[in-house]
Structure 1
Amino acid sequence: MEAKHLIDGIQPNQGPIYPEDINELSSALSDIAEPGKVVVPVGGATRLQIGAKMPHYDYALDLSNMNHLVAHNSADLTCIVQSGITLHSLQNQLREQEQFLAVDAAFPGKATIGGTLASNAPGYLRWQLAHMRDMVIGMQVVLPSGTVTKSGGPVVKNVSGYDMARLHVGGYGTLGVISEISFKLTPLPRRQGSLLVGFQSENELQNFSGEVFDSYVMPLALTGMNEHLIKTLQIDAPRCQYLMVIRIGGRQMAFDRQINILNKMVDQYQHSNTDFLEQNPSDRLWKKIRDFRGYGSSSSITGRVFSTPTRLRSLLRDIVNFFEEIGSTLAISIQPGFGTMEFYIDSLPAEDKTRSTQVIEQIHNIARQNQSHINYEKLPSDLKNGFNMWGQINEGSLGIMRSLRGTYDPGKKLNRGRYLTDKEGS
């Protein structure tokens, strides 16, 4: 039994299954016909901690052997891959043709394409290159019954009808098992680097990000962080309370023009300071930012908030103020262009579980008051029992999601109990 199949201390009762191809995957799912059996699709196991605690599960459907680049049409900037290929392996093969897939996720040496899509993994290559679901142009999915379905295709074109692949991006493997994906690709930028801009207040950070958004600058990635995350990541930015990291890429003239625009914008902030990193140190910094998924202690908490760029300002202020009131600290990373925020808590100043639950509930309330939605990506195991890790969902949306679950997997064979569609009374 592999350690990576351990989920919240639970191993699969019947053990793992390792399909080698689509036929074996289809047969494995169709052969598990006994009512009540639970199957968990597994890729690199970098995000299996997300979701409610399952009472048990029977089979780990490990797709790590389905790990091939099936086709790569470099002239059309498209490729087809099996879902078990790791991000690192795929990017290395695409780099030979000076191309890359604009999808990034933590621990790319382990994280698989299928798991990254299914869990809607956070990444930073979104400001210019859009959400990772926008990179998908086709998908093959095996339903819980073993039926193989396809949508889209291997070419970039406009088609009529619903884009069914989008249902499975962020579906956490509850509607089917992603087996093969067609992607559109992006040429590698000729020149890359990052500009680091330090500020003394979150208001300056937010104002500057708004100016970048309204300018002619098109960053590959942009993130802001508070001093606690700066210290945790050991970034050399000693004279600032908040830091913005802006990744720029393109041809030399376009690259220089964007850096010049940014420097002129920074000059308007009296107490700001800047640093520029060439590609190699820039890549190392972004790797450090990307791979930090929270603190390592058993009591640590990681949350992810989905808001809008305009609401993010008050959301950030309210959460920071709340933690100051309770005498605790948290590390924060924001993507202002998308209105998303991640927060990382090493431990809470709590006397007991009740106190911890109250703090988490107040974070829920702050998100709700700012018309935002929160997911907890990491919680202590004892807090997972009976706790809604997925935040508040309006009844209309939840009804649609449950209807889809009932249509695709009426027996709840896949990931039963982990996702919000299986939570009673939510």
Structure 2
Amino acid sequence: MPPPGLAARLGWPFRRYGFGANFLFLEEQSLMGDFASFIAALQEQLPQTAVLLDSATLQRYAVDEMQPRAVIVPSSTDEAAQTVALAHQYQVSLLPRGGGTHLGLGGVPKSLEAVIELTRLSRLLEHEAADLTCQVEAGITLAALQRQLAIRGQRLALDPPHAEQATIGGILATNASGPRRLRYGTARDLVIGLRTIQADGEIARSGGRVVKNVAGYDLNKLYIGSLGTLAIIVEANFKLHPLPAAERTLLLTFPAVTDAMRLVSAVLGSVLTPTAIELLDGNAARAIATRAGLSLPANGYTLAFDFEGSLSAIHRQMDETRLLARQHGALMGEDLQGAEQEAFWEAVRAQTSGELTCKATMLITSIAAYLQFAEQLCRRLNLEMAAVAHAGSGIVYLELHPAEVSSELLEALRLLRQQAQEGKGSLVIERAPTALKRQIDVWGPVGSDFPLMQRIKQRFDPGGIFVKGRFVGGL
């Protein structure tokens, strides 16, 4: 027999349950939990939805070495909603997927039955240039969206890595961001409305289409960063920004990280308004230089300041930054613009997504001491480290090598997390080999708010349709 709530909704033992013009007939015997019946119903009721079952495809869609039993690719929001409704009916778990750039984030899934990929939902639905807003489907890539917005001289001020592959839905589900978050914030600051598919297949809206939408609870912020555990994001409304008239990057080098961070504090305490401030250690600078085809100092620490606006305003801000830099012992570096500048920032973003990458958050004033601690720890444990920090936002990315499971690596991760927590921060292992994920909690210990998170998950997804195990505390 099906669960009582579902029986009441479907009219057990026999009732016609409709999806538009398509109908699913339930016989008296229960089909609940029957994966083969789920696939058969899906193919019968939604012939336009691609259902991929061949082993080569399933291997490509593996998550942490777990292959799904099917990959489902709907061609519309309605098809996606009907797919989720069928999964809910047959109690088949779903893992939402976009371009796959952030699938490394999260713990090992408890099970993986079906992946629902949203890349065919890739339209720019509306662009109200006069209002600086747009409405998009979740499967559009960030790069494709930016190209369409640029026609009207605008952009979405998000810059996570791999823009050509990362989809809007994946970016929102993981709350991915990049260096520009210093000036423009993250997705939670730029989203004004969402359209989502709930665990029972119902389509819901939150927020609105105008920037000054303040009515009701802000459910947008609940969905963003929830890793697809509460609902599937299928559309998003954003506030936009004009493309800057010009952009320049100033590079400075410091022999000591403490001097570099003192300059960061000085700039943040001034009237200067950089778009991004990135701190690179020698190993990261070397990797970025190779990737971007540039020459960067391999010793000491490099600070990169990005400025946008009119050329006159940029030159004034760069001159004032240089003046402050001399007072903090900086070695003057070159200025970047054009293709070199674009290649540099693309390489910086890519440097935050290595094979084993940790993301530590902390007070800005703690960054220097944290990096010194990390350097000493890695030398003691014979590990290699490359560090990139959003220096004005209190975020440090550490790439560690070798990534194979070892007592030294486990000890390093434990102490790096402990050090971050002692500084009132946290450490999340954003990317790691599956073998390592099975040895350590990538999210770290849960906080006092975890019972509330459990209640929210139970409320939004009582049947556990969205794959469990990947989010905080195994949610």
- TM-score normalised by structure 1 residue count: 0.93
From the superposition, tell whether residues 2 and 64 of structure 1 become closer, same or farther in structure 2 (CA, over 3 Å).
farther
Q: Residue in 2 aligned with 1:238?
A: 297
1:57 Cα deviation after fit: 0.8
* Alpha carbons 2:133, 2:209 under 8 Å: kept: yes
* Alpha carbons 1:198, 1:237 under 8 Å: kept: no
From the superposition, tell whether residues 183 and 21 of structure 1 become closer, same or farther in structure 2 (CA, over 3 Å).
same
* Alpha carbons 2:279, 2:301 under 8 Å: kept: yes
Q: Residue in 1 aligned with 2:351?
A: 292
- Residue 275, structure 1, aligned to residue 334, structure 2: yes
Give a deviation string over 1:61-105, Cα, whole Å, max 9, x none.
000000000000011110000000000100000011110000111
The aligned amino acid for 1:383 is L
* Alpha carbons 1:216, 1:258 under 8 Å: kept: no
Provide the rounded CA distance (Å) in 2 between the counterparts of 1:132 and 1:187: 17
Q: Which runs of 5+ in 1 are unaligned?
A: none
The aligned amino acid for 1:255 is I
1:318 Cα deviation after fit: 2.0
SS at match of 2:189: helix
The aligned amino acid for 1:19 is P
1:414 Cα deviation after fit: 0.8
Provide the rounded CA distance (Å) in 2 between the counterparts of 1:25 and 1:214: 48
1:155 Cα deviation after fit: 1.1
1:353 Cα deviation after fit: 3.3
* Alpha carbons 1:191, 1:279 under 8 Å: kept: no
User: What fraction of aligned residue pairs are identical, expressed as a percent?
Assistant: 27
- Residue 144, structure 1, aligned to residue 196, structure 2: no
- Residue 6, structure 1, aligned to residue 65, structure 2: no
The aligned amino acid for 2:313 is A
Query: Which of 236, 247, 251 is the matching residue for 2:306?
Result: 247
* Alpha carbons 1:223, 1:335 under 8 Å: kept: yes
Provide the rounded CA distance (Å) in 2 between the counterparts of 1:240 and 1:358: 27
Q: Residue in 2 aligned with 1:413?
A: 465
SS at match of 1:32: helix
Provide the rounded CA distance (Å) in 1 between the counterparts of 2:302 and 2:225: 29
- Residue 403, structure 1, aligned to residue 461, structure 2: no
Q: Residue in 2 aligned with 1:217?
A: 272
What are the within-5 Å matches in structure 2 for residues 178-217 of structure 1? 178-217=233-272
Q: Which runs of 5+ in 2 are unaligned?
A: 1-56
Give a deviation string over 1:166-214, Cα, whole Å, max 9, x none.
1111100000000100000000000111000111010011101111111
Aligned pairs, number: 415
* Alpha carbons 2:282, 2:298 under 8 Å: kept: no
Provide the rounded CA distance (Å) in 1 between the counterparts of 2:223 and 2:456: 11
Q: Considering Cα pairs closer than 8 Å and 6+ residues apart, tell me whether 1 or 2 has the greater RCO.
A: 1
- Residue 380, structure 1, aligned to residue 433, structure 2: yes
RMSD: 1.8
Q: Residue in 1 aligned with 2:422?
A: 369
* Alpha carbons 1:87, 1:111 under 8 Å: kept: yes
Q: Residue in 2 aligned with 1:154?
A: 209
* Alpha carbons 1:198, 1:239 under 8 Å: kept: no
Give a deviation string over 1:284-337, Cα, whole Å, max 9, x none.
110111122444xxxx42100121212333322222222232233200011122
- TM-score normalised by structure 2 residue count: 0.84
The aligned amino acid for 1:409 is D
* Alpha carbons 2:254, 2:300 under 8 Å: kept: yes
Q: Residue in 1 aligned with 2:13?
A: none
Q: Residue in 2 aligned with 1:74?
A: 129
Query: Which of 87, 102, 105 is the matching residue for 2:157?
Result: 102
Q: Residue in 2 aligned with 1:330?
A: 385
